[in-house]
Amino acid sequence: MRADQKAFLVTGASTGIGRAIADRLVAQGHYVFASVRKQADADALNAAFGENGQAVLFDVSDMAAIEAAALVIGDALNGRTLAGLVNNAGIALPGPALIQPLSEIEQVMNINFMGVVRCCRAFAPLLGADSARTGPKGRILNITSVSGKFGYPFTAAYVAAKHAVEGFSDSLRRELLLIGIDVIVVGPGAVKTPIWEKGAAAGGNKYKDTIWGKPLERLTQSLAAMDQEGLEVSVVANLVEEALTTAHPKTRYAPVPNKLVNWWLARFLPARMVDRVVGKSLSLLP
């Protein structure tokens, strides 16, 4: 790592948005620590980044592994601050809230929300909470979703986790005014990644014989289509890089395709009207 390089940590960087963010930061001349869970993914990232980055192995559900990674990254920084932490790692497991296994709901909350909390705690000293480090204070950037502001049926665990990250980010940003570490949220709409397809595949077809079977199938198909018709990952990655490096970042960015329909209308129409539109589209209402 060169002395003139800013260094960033991106979690969940093996594929999708996380990989695109890591690639963008490296392309802009920065140094990237990229977290992954598998050695094969680490090897691929190390080969791609060369001297401008390195993979670190940890799962955001494992505090001991996160703390071990913080020691490795702290040593590599050689007394300097980490310029930014991007909390991107996450999973999606759709299911009806009343019958989805509690273990699945707990898993989503543990990774998508508590993973953010763990990483903020472990890496805050590197961002400048440790006053012994030299350099500008770093930034925390949490990737949420349009689901951090809007609740889709059959995604209650994911929506709850993203809402939690939104609220946590606002509170943490105000607490960290004392230290000077900023907290930013990027909440994308549909992005061309297979996150919902992976989630549906992991869950199988276990709800097909319940009253929720048909509506859930329609939603799964709709989400998979949106994932493929959504924003390119590069759009989100470029916005994240801007938020991490601009002098005066916003507190929240909302890169949402077809923003009038997918963002503004859902936010400002009466909730009961939105309920009817969504209910009819998924056969939840006659």
Strands 84-87 and 53-57: unpaired
- Spatial neighbors of 168 by CB under 8 A, at least 6 apart, are 113, 116, 117, 142
Pairwise CA distance, residues 159 & 95, whole Å: 12
Pairwise CA distance, residues 179 & 27, whole Å: 30
158 in catalytic set: yes
Amino acid at residue number 114 = M
Q: Which of 31, 152, 158, 207 is catalytic?
A: 158
Tokens of 206: 């276990």
Pairwise CA distance, residues 61 & 107, whole Å: 9
User: In the sheet that 139-143 helps form, which strands lie side by side, from edge to edge?
Assistant: 53-57, 31-36, 7-10, 84-87, 139-143, 182-186, 252-253
Please say whether the beta carbons of 21 and 235 come within 8 A.
Answer: no
Tokens of 207: 């709800």
Tokens of 247: 């002098």
* CA distances in angstroms from 78 to 2, 29, 56, listed in the order given: 11, 19, 17
Please say whether the beta carbons of 83 and 8 come within 8 A.
Answer: yes
Amino acid at residue number 27 = A
Catalytic residue set = 158
